[in-house]
């Protein structure tokens, strides 16, 4: 039995070594995604282009504009003559934020019942609105104690990521996204390819058992998955200074559980797909909700209920919880038993479905 | 040939949805011989072979292969069975040695046995030169020899070959058949499907399949002798004129074209069949050489399918 599993493993590894594209993807996908997500995606938005219409033209209004610019959120481009021009420039995509300071700015500033100035925000872009809201908290420059206190009510302290760097949030979660994508696609393709090319028809007539065939095919990918985890962690630490606060062993155990789950998911896909193309389509069909709903990009708690339920079915949701807990919050695996158990349940169910559907027969 | 047959099938039937691919086929295939399935594409040859090796479950009927009830005991049969699929189904991205190594391991040969068998087979099937070549870059003949080597690694008692020579040149086909005879000499039972008449003629016994039904069975010689018709061969300048001249004759059961000649199958009771045809042609003014000839397997096939088809013509789909 072991002999046959080893035979299949040797064959798989040989074929993998010869399939340059797949081999390149094992390393290429993690690197590409790391660079892409690590550098390009940035949730702490800065330097939004803004234009101002200053109808007041007083020293107070100028100081106020300077205070806004000092926040670093906006970068002022040429001012506009009036609000209609401001709106036109926004619709042309020239600016994301417009600030209108009315003629009676000074008087309004004293009157606490009315806002002193107006902020125009481009709502068509994600994130901008939320960031701009932060601008409304910028206090008016103090002058002889005339104005309201500038001390904010709440002090904000960001735990586990004090510098609020997006890479710190994104990179650990990328482990899951990358594993999810590669494991699922590779296994599904590896099994479906053999069906497509007729190899399976031959294999079925040999003494090999389905379980041996599956184990031999999947085990090499477990190794590949662990290599990918190591790669992401290393690059994350070198390029983006992402720390691993928890125990490495815990992280690898969690990764192993997740790898097993996604491989099995790939296996289920392979029993549904007739061609490699269908397998890719199915994998993609799972990939997209995984990225969007798993809490990788958007906070899980903010999603509507049905989306949250759907996310429970996706293994990436639970792994993201595990990986963020271990890598960033330094939590021991024992404290994360809920997501770990959910992942385990997923694995067992998927395995049952895969074995039920994978029969050593053609019909 | 030993007393108990290698394969016994009774009422073997397989339906795919509304299509009946194999329709109540009874088989009794003796050991240590080459048994042929002759029939055009879509006649149910592959489906039958797949049911015999447990790849497909019969819709009804029973099969016993080497004493194992299929598909129930399929796993027990595996070690005693070699199967060559219609399509090359070893791995294109592995070389010949790696392919053989893999299959040998799957069949549980230890490393000494593997080395020995692979050396033997490389010799026997002339694979020494391509051992390090990937299967995907080999010629049709080389791939076929490799596939046969892989199917016989574990010295199976029964070899199922599904149209093994469909992608191979004539010389390779002859060599391949020599290899099959060598295997039979050593006691192997071989079941081979083909749509080539010359290959069918080399089989020890033959089953003719058409539209999923077994329409004739026996040795090639007995099939040709017992054909329920008389064969007249017509060689004429104008083949189509001959055809139309003979059309509608009550004694002529079918006319099939074989190259430049026509074969007319006549009612067995026709006195002087050659003369009968000659007269018909002469009346129509067709000059032809007419001769009463022994039946070929092709004629047998035409007769067995109710004088409706020639095996070389594509068949209408049922």
Condensed to tens digits (0 to 9), the pLDDT of residues B156-166 reads 999 999 999 88
Question: Phi and psi at residue B213, in whole multiples of 5°?
Answer: -110, 145
With an 8 Å Cβ cutoff, are A3 and B105 in contact? yes
Residue indicated by tokens 């051992």: B131
Among A202, A206, A361, select the one facing B56 at the smallest CB separation: A361
User: For B68-92, what is the mean pLDDT?
Assistant: 90
Among B50, B102, B107, select the one facing A207 at the smallest CB separation: B107
- Whether residue B315 is predicted with pLDDT greater than 60 in this model: the reply is no
Residues of chain B positioned with their CB less than 8 A from the CB of A10: 102
Q: How buried is A117 (Cβ within 10 angstroms: 0-12 exposed, 13-18 middle, 19+ buried)? A: buried
pLDDT in tens, A302-327: 788 888 888 899 999 999 989 988 98
Give the span between the Cα atoms of A223 and B59, in whole angstroms: 43
With an 8 Å Cβ cutoff, are A361 and B83 in contact? no
Contacts A–B by Cβ distance under 8 A: 71
Where is average pLDDT lowest: A132-136, A210-214, B110-114? A132-136
In this prediction, residue B213 carries a pLDDT of 92
- Whether residue B39 is predicted with pLDDT greater than 50 in this model: the reply is yes
Distance from CA of A196 to the nearest CA of B (A): 10
Mean pLDDT of chain B: 89
User: For A154-172, what is the mean pLDDT?
Assistant: 73
Residues of chain B positioned with their CB less than 8 A from the CB of A360: 74
With an 8 Å Cβ cutoff, are A19 and B93 in contact? yes
Mutation target to probe the B interface, by most B beta carbons within 10 A, among A19, A206, A360 is A206
pLDDT in tens, A261-306: 999 999 899 888 888 899 889 988 998 888 888 888 777 777 888 8
- Whether residue A146 is predicted with pLDDT greater than 60 in this model: the reply is no
Q: CA of B109: which chain A residue's CA is closest?
A: A3
pLDDT band of A361, cuts 50, 70, 90: low
Residues of chain A positioned with their CB less than 8 A from the CB of B47: none
Asked if residue B86 has a cis previous peptide bond (ω within 30° of 0), the answer is no
Residues of chain B positioned with their CB less than 8 A from the CB of A202: 83, 85, 89-90
| Tally: H helices and E strands in chain A | 14, 4
Give the span between the Cα atoms of A291 and A314, in whole angstroms: 10
Contact indicator for A166, A44 with CB cutoff of 8 Å: yes
- Whether residue A131 is predicted with pLDDT greater than 80 in this model: the reply is no
Distance from CA of A260 to the nearest CA of B (A): 25
Question: Phi and psi at residue B10, in whole multiples of 5°?
Answer: -130, 120
With an 8 Å Cβ cutoff, are A4 and B89 in contact? no
- Tokens for A334, please give them: 């024992």
With an 8 Å Cβ cutoff, are B108 and A7 in contact? no
pLDDT in tens, B247-263: 888 888 888 887 788 88
CA angle, corner A178, sides to A352 and A233, nearest 5? 120
Mean pLDDT of chain A: 84
Q: CA of A204: which chain B residue's CA is closest?
A: B55
Contact B102/A at CB under 8 A: yes
With an 8 Å Cβ cutoff, are B94 and A15 in contact? yes
Among B55, B57, B105, select the one facing A201 at the smallest CB separation: B55
Of residues B222 and B71, more confidence is placed in: B222
- Whether residue A129 is predicted with pLDDT greater than 90 in this model: the reply is no
Radius of gyration of chain B (CA): 22
Q: CA of A207: which chain B residue's CA is closest?
A: B78
Contact B56/A at CB under 8 A: yes
With an 8 Å Cβ cutoff, are B85 and A198 in contact? yes
In this prediction, residue B1 carries a pLDDT of 45
Give whichever of A108-117, A156-165, B2-11 has the largest mean pLDDT. B2-11
In this prediction, residue B35 carries a pLDDT of 96
User: For A206-220, what is the mean pLDDT?
Assistant: 89
**Bridge partners (DSSP) listed for residue B209:** B214
Q: CA of B89: which chain A residue's CA is closest?
A: A199
Give whichever of A4-8, A326-330, B2-6, B162-166 has the largest mean pLDDT. A4-8
Spell out where B222-287 has E strands: 230-236, 252-258, 261-266
C-alpha closest to that of A75 among A100, A47, A54, A42 = A47
- Whether residue B212 is predicted with pLDDT greater than 70 in this model: the reply is yes
C-alpha closest to that of B77 among B67, B89, B62 = B67
Among A201, A207, A361, select the one facing B106 at the smallest CB separation: A207
pLDDT band of A21, cuts 50, 70, 90: confident
With an 8 Å Cβ cutoff, are A14 and B94 in contact? yes
Compute how many other C-beta atoms are within 10 angstroms of the C-beta atom of residue A242: 24
With an 8 Å Cβ cutoff, are A362 and B102 in contact? no
With an 8 Å Cβ cutoff, are B55 and A207 in contact? no
Give whichever of A38-47, A242-251, B127-136 has the largest mean pLDDT. B127-136
- Whether residue A24 is predicted with pLDDT greater than 60 in this model: the reply is yes
Q: CA of A362: which chain B residue's CA is closest?
A: B55
- Whether residue A216 is predicted with pLDDT greater than 60 in this model: the reply is yes
- Whether residue B192 is predicted with pLDDT greater than 90 in this model: the reply is yes
Residues of chain B positioned with their CB less than 8 A from the CB of A199: 89-91
Residues of chain B positioned with their CB less than 8 A from the CB of A196: none
In this prediction, residue B148 carries a pLDDT of 94
Share of chain A above pLDDT 70, in %: 91
B34-38, strands of its sheet edge to edge: B81-84, B158-162, B189-194, B34-38, B205-210, B213-218
Between positions 59 and 98 of B, the ones with CB within 8 A of A are: 71, 74-75, 78-79, 81, 83, 85, 87-94, 98
Compute how many other C-beta atoms are within 10 angstroms of the C-beta atom of residue B216: 21
Of residues B260 and A43, more confidence is placed in: B260
Compute how many other C-beta atoms are within 10 angstroms of the C-beta atom of residue B9: 25
In this prediction, residue A106 carries a pLDDT of 84
Residues of chain A positioned with their CB less than 8 A from the CB of B55: 201, 204-205, 361-362
With an 8 Å Cβ cutoff, are B102 and A7 in contact? yes
User: For B183-189, what is the mean pLDDT?
Assistant: 94
pLDDT band of B185, cuts 50, 70, 90: very high
Q: What length does chain A have? A: 363
Handedness of CA B175, B179, B185, B190 (dihedral sign): negative
C-alpha closest to that of A327 among A170, A157, A165 = A170
In this prediction, residue B288 carries a pLDDT of 86
User: For A140-157, what is the mean pLDDT?
Assistant: 57
User: For A59-76, what is the mean pLDDT?
Assistant: 86
Distance from CA of A198 to the nearest CA of B (A): 5
Of residues B83 and A363, more confidence is placed in: B83
- Tokens for B34, please give them: 């080459």
**Bridge partners (DSSP) listed for residue A54:** A101
Among B94, B98, B108, select the one facing A207 at the smallest CB separation: B108
Residues of chain B positioned with their CB less than 8 A from the CB of A3: 105, 108
- Tokens for A33, please give them: 């995604």
Share of chain B above pLDDT 90, in %: 57
pLDDT in tens, A243-265: 888 899 999 999 999 999 999 99
Mutation target to probe the B interface, by most B beta carbons within 10 A, among A15, A205, A208, A360 is A205
């Amino acid at each position: 039995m072991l002999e046959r599993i080893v035979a299949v493993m040797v064959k798989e590894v040989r074929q993998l070594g010869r399939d340059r594209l797949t081999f390149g993807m094992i390393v290429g996908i993690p690197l590409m995604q790391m660079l892409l997500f690590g550098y390009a995606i940035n949730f702490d938005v800065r330097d939004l282009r803004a234009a101002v219409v200053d109808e007041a033209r007083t020293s107070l209004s100028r100081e106020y504009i300077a205070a806004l610019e000092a926040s670093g959120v906006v970068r002022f481009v040429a001012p506009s003559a009036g609000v209609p021009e401001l709106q036109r420039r926004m619709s042309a995509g020239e600016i994301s934020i417009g600030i209108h300071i009315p003629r009676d700015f000074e008087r309004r500033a004293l009157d606490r019942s009315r806002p002193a100035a107006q902020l125009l925000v481009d709502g068509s872009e994600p994130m901008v609105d939320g960031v701009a809201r932060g601008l409304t908290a910028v206090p008016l420059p103090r002058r002889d104690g005339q104005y309201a206190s500038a001390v904010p009510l709440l002090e904000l302290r960001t735990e586990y990521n004090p510098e609020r760097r997006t890479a710190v949030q994104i990179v650990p979660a990328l482990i899951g996204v990358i594993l999810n994508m590669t494991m699922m696609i590779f296994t599904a393709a590896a099994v479906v390819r053999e069906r497509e090319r007729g190899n399976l028809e031959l294999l079925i007539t040999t003494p090999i058992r389905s379980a041996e065939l599956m184990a031999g095919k999947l085990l090499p990918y477990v190794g590949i998955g662990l290599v990918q985890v190591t790669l992401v962690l290393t690059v994350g630490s070198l390029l983006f200074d992402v720390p691993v606060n928890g125990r490495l062993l815990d992280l690898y155990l969690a990764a192993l559980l997740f790898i097993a789950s996604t491989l099995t998911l790939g296996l289920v896909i392979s029993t549904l797909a007739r061609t490699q193309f269908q397998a890719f389509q199915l994998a993609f069909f799972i990939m997209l909700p995984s990225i969007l709903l798993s809490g990788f990009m958007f906070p899980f708690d903010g999603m509507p209920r049905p989306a949250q339920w759907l996310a429970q079915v996706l293994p990436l949701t639970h792994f993201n919880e595990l990986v963020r807990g271990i890598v960033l919050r330094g939590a021991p695996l024992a404290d994360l038993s809920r997501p770990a158990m959910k992942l385990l349940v997923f694995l067992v169910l998927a395995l049952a479905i895969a074995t039920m559907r994978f029969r050593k027969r053609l019909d | 040939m030993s007393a108990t047959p290698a394969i016994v099938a009774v009422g073997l039937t397989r339906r795919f949805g509304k299509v009946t691919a194999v329709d109540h086929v009874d088989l009794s295939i003796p050991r240590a011989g080459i048994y042929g399935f002759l029939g055009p594409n879509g006649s149910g040859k592959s489906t039958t072979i797949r049911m015999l090796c447990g790849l497909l479950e019969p819709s009804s009927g029973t099969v016993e292969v080497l004493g194992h009830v299929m598909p129930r005991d399929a796993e027990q049969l595996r070690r005693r069975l070699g199967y060559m699929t219609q399509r090359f189904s070893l791995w294109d991205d592995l070389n010949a040695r790696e392919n053989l190594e893999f299959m040998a391991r799957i069949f549980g040969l230890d490393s000494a046995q593997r080395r020995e068998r692979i050396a033997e087979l490389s010799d026997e099937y002339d694979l020494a030169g391509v051992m390090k070549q990937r299967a995907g870059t080999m010629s049709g003949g080389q791939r076929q020899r490799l596939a046969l080597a892989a199917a016989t690694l574990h010295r199976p008692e029964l070899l199922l070959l599904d149209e093994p020579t469909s992608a191979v040149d004539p010389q390779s086909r002859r060599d391949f058949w020599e290899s099959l005879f060598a295997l039979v000499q050593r006691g192997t039972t071989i079941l081979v499907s083909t749509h080539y008449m010359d290959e069918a003629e080399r089989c020890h016994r033959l089953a003719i399949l058409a539209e999923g039904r077994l329409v004739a069975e026996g040795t090639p010689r007995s099939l040709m002798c017992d054909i329920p018709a008389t064969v007249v061969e017509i060689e004429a300048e104008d083949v189509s004129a001959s055809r139309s001249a003979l059309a509608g004759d009550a004694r002529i059961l079918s006319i099939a074209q074989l190259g430049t000649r026509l074969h007319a199958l006549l009612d067995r009771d026709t006195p002087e069949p050659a003369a009968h045809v000659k007269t018909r042609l002469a009346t129509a003014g067709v000059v032809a050489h007419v001769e009463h000839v022994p039946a070929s397997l092709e004629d047998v096939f035409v007769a067995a399918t109710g004088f409706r088809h020639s095996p070389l013509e594509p068949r209408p789909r049922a």
